[in-house]
Structure 1
């Protein structure tokens, strides 16, 4: 007698997924699930899709500068950021094919600059951290840096070239993600808040099996109706209360003769040339949740950037804006399952939301499809924040 066939694997079940929040994390996860893995997805957001922090960002893909030498952060943040950077070339190709448009990805190396002793010490600290991790970089004398980027101010003391650090046009990416999802028969985009309900303490959303909370700094404030009352999602997992907001102000200027063509970093300042503009950013304002730029802060930011590249001083300002980043105490995202059985979260990416979008999408998709995670990916689960509190 033939033995009965083995039961189908758990992963053969295809869930219907609701994603709450259509920033780059929600969009990228919807793309991973619907376009690449064949999973039906509904994306909910009452705000314009692809706006918020994803639209306000500068598209930095900077694992070295943002994570290699940072103190007080998640011990494996740099490794996760490197994974994100390594996924971006293929992610941009897949997205371009699906949306039939360019995402503006560029892997060209960035330059960190130093003009005084403190900046030089910070640069050497970063170089030592990269040495310890075996990450490619090169310390450049001023003459070599000026050959690579002639717009840099003449009193440069030192520069560090970082081949790991590139950039992407974040606005082009979110537009491409929306276009790709609009083309997918498995993706539904809804410009409204998700009608979440609680039945017997369990989250429900009609027609969906699993829920992903990806609402940026507002994730904890997502509402759930219980007995006619709107409750915060934090009631289903207190870890969500660890997401805080960080304001940032930026501006863009028009290209002009001799304007920079290389991504430049110095302290908290970055200069990110795009095809149609040069972005200058950014202030870092903990606890600030305003999207209104302040003229004095913008003027000071513009002046600091012109200190690095004098040509920027007289280039016309195209746009000024402010954004709100979501952050956590260890400056790392929370990615994974929550205390609620059918609720997942992907939020709190701080300065690395664009960089980490592809790897976050992959982790969430693997979890939802019952695929095992690596210890590295598991270390970013929301439970770590409750344990540390």
Structure 2
């Protein structure tokens, strides 16, 4: 395998972890944004990498993501406002957050733990962790671009956060101020509905207030993840597509990964399978549950749709220009099994929420209807680091933020694996917490 070039750096103080010698080979399970970013960074350290993917790169939650790289909005999912929604809203298919009624003790335990993290005090602690990560999130994308990932990120200047009323805007501004107090760097300014329509003429008359949010970016997530897969291959990494993984064994001097193609061996393994994490990592002491938080999206023709990243914040609906004549419309959170099919009511709920506030969209010309399982943890923090085995690692549980934070968490974990020291940013994300 040709040697890799480039470097990867840690961004904080560190502590010892991992095998006694630097690993020479790694198996990364999962070819979404998180897994491929980890593989790319491991190749930066000269580690031989094989990525194993049950479908193909960008087949999971990375593909249908809204595509926002928005450090200002990458916030903890458990928030005090979640408690105000109440149980009645959670069982309504029209609600932004929906729990299909069913007997599920595991989900009940997840929701109980999630609720405990929705206090203001706990939110501040979690937000401080996100603030630390967000400071480096865009830098990680710049490193990918500088080292050969061809698909660009684009400046969103400004992002528009649109509201029906000034009162709705004030609630969002309060949340941004709380994030600032937790250490976020956020630049924004309030504008009225007329100014918002000057910036984005597709906004309807129902929009009475908005925020201009500066310093954010966006991308076409499917194209970017495929470009990242190409970059991994160009660096000498191997990607095995349509290969199922059924188990991992710690051999003491390495790992054996059982796949549908037979057994693979390497010095270390990284599990980056998103909402499918639990089954592979539970034998290695990871007890933090990962719940599928399913998000919905589809695309509409660009003509008549927003030309810039636009967020209908109260309705939890995001519009992102993808290029190629399409705009992605995404939203909703559904706590349901990963294998559950698309619920057409959720698509209709997105349209019903957005239609009165956007004009000109041809909703009947939508295509690429998608539902994806975003891997959520009860405290909203990813699981990044070593398990009870110093040869088995986890990189997952990013919730809605796998695209926003995947390149950074991949770099930080690769640093920990290759150097034997763990960057300080990973301490609150420890999989055994």
**TM superposition score normalised by structure 2:** 0.75
C-alpha distance in structure 1 between counterparts of 2:363 and 2:292, whole Å = 33
* CA separation of 1:199 and 1:242: change in aligned 2, threshold 3 A: closer
**Secondary structure of residue in 2 paired with 1:331:** coil
**1:25: how far off?**
0.6
**Secondary structure of residue in 1 paired with 2:62:** helix
Residues 340-379 of structure 1 correspond to what in structure 2 (within 5 A)?
340-370=389-419, 372-379=421-428
What is the aligned partner in structure 1 of residue 40 from structure 2? Answer: 31
What is the aligned partner in structure 1 of residue 309 from structure 2? Answer: 263
**Secondary structure of residue in 2 paired with 1:311:** coil
Say which of 279, 282, 285 aligns to 1:221: 279
Residue ranges of structure 2 left out of the alignment (5+ in a row): 1-18, 80-117, 257-263
Q: Deviations over 1:292-315 (max 9, x none)?
A: 322232122123222232122556
The number of aligned residues is 357
**TM superposition score normalised by structure 1:** 0.83
What is the aligned partner in structure 2 of residue 61 from structure 1? Answer: 69
| Residue 136 (structure 1) aligned with residue 187 (structure 2) | yes
User: Which has the higher mean CA deviation after the structures are superposed, 103-112 or 175-184?
Assistant: 103-112
**Secondary structure of residue in 2 paired with 1:64:** coil
**1:43: how far off?**
0.7
C-alpha distance in structure 1 between counterparts of 2:379 and 2:418, whole Å = 28
What is the aligned partner in structure 2 of residue 4 from structure 1? Answer: none
Task: Work out which structure has the larger RCO, using CA pairs closer than 8 Å and 6 or more positions apart in sequence.
Answer: 2
* CA separation of 1:372 and 1:200: change in aligned 2, threshold 3 A: closer
Residue ranges of structure 1 left out of the alignment (5+ in a row): 1-9, 223-232, 385-389
**1:201: how far off?**
8.4
| Residue 44 (structure 1) aligned with residue 44 (structure 2) | no
**1:130: how far off?**
4.9
**1:196: how far off?**
4.5
| Residue 328 (structure 1) aligned with residue 377 (structure 2) | yes
Q: Deviations over 1:6-47 (max 9, x none)?
A: xxxx9984521111111111111111112x332210111222
Given that 2:32 and 2:62 are in contact with CA atoms closer than 8 Å, whether structure 1 keeps it comes out as yes
Given that 1:217 and 1:245 are in contact with CA atoms closer than 8 Å, whether structure 2 keeps it comes out as yes
**Secondary structure of residue in 1 paired with 2:270:** strand
What is the aligned partner in structure 2 of residue 7 from structure 1? Answer: none
What is the aligned partner in structure 1 of residue 296 from structure 2? Answer: 249
Q: Deviations over 1:343-366 (max 9, x none)?
A: 110010001000111111111111
CA RMSD of aligned residues (A): 2.6
C-alpha distance in structure 2 between counterparts of 1:182 and 1:375, whole Å = 30
What is the aligned partner in structure 1 of residue 163 from structure 2? Answer: 114
C-alpha distance in structure 1 between counterparts of 2:279 and 2:372, whole Å = 18
* CA separation of 1:184 and 1:255: change in aligned 2, threshold 3 A: same
**1:318: how far off?**
2.4
Given that 2:156 and 2:308 are in contact with CA atoms closer than 8 Å, whether structure 1 keeps it comes out as no
**1:219: how far off?**
1.1
